[in-house]
Amino acid sequence: MHPSHGLRAVRVGSVTGAGLAGWQANSGRSLDFVRKVPVRYWCPQGHETVPVFADLTEAEIPQSWDCPKCGQTAGRERGLLVQHSGDEPFKSHLDYVKERRTPAEAAEALDRALTELRRHRTAPG
Ligand SMILES: [Zn+2]
C-alpha cells in the first residue's frame, strides 16, 4: 500500500492549519499511530464533505470547511449557513432572471408568447 493512500482528502497548507498534514508537521509524530477522525461538513448547497483529521479535540476541529464542489463555506451542521461577510451566495443565471421577473411580468410574457403563437398559426402560408 502506498503510504499516501487515503490521505488525499486532507488539504495541505489549509488556512486553519488543522488536518493531518498540519498536525503531523506540528507534532512530529507519525501518522501511522494516529486515529483518523472523519468530520462531516455540509455547504449551503447541501454538498457533503468529509475531510479526515488526526485525533483532534472538539476545539481543534474547524467549524467550517470550504466545499470542494462549489467553493462555499460548509458548516458542521446540515443546513447551517456559515458565510464570510461580503460573500455573495452562488446563484445561477436563471436565478437572477427569476428574481428580476415578478409573477405578473412572467404571466404577461407568457401571454405575449401565446398570442404570437396563435398569430403564426392563423397566418396564411
Ligand atoms: Zn457545495
Distance from the alpha carbon of residue 42 to the mean position of ligand 1, in angstroms: 7
Q: Rounded CA gap, 38 and 51, in Å?
A: 6
In this structure, the dihedral spanned by the alpha carbons of residues 70, 76, 82 and 88, taken in order and rounded to 10 degrees, is 10
Distance from the alpha carbon of residue 97 to the mean position of ligand 1, in angstroms: 22
Confidence of residue 123 (pLDDT cuts 50, 70, 90): low
pLDDT tens-place string over residues 20-78: 667 667 766 665 666 788 999 999 889 999 999 887 888 888 999 999 999 999 999 88
Distance from the alpha carbon of residue 91 to the mean position of ligand 1, in angstroms: 12
CA dist list (Å): 13 to 21, 66, 102, 125:
8, 13, 46, 69
Q: Which is more confidently placed, 26 or 9?
A: 26
pLDDT of residue 48: 94
Binding residue numbers for Zn(2+): 43, 47, 67, 70
Binding residue numbers: 43, 47, 67, 70
All cell numbers assigned to 113: 408568447
Q: Rounded CA gap, 4 and 59, in Å?
A: 27
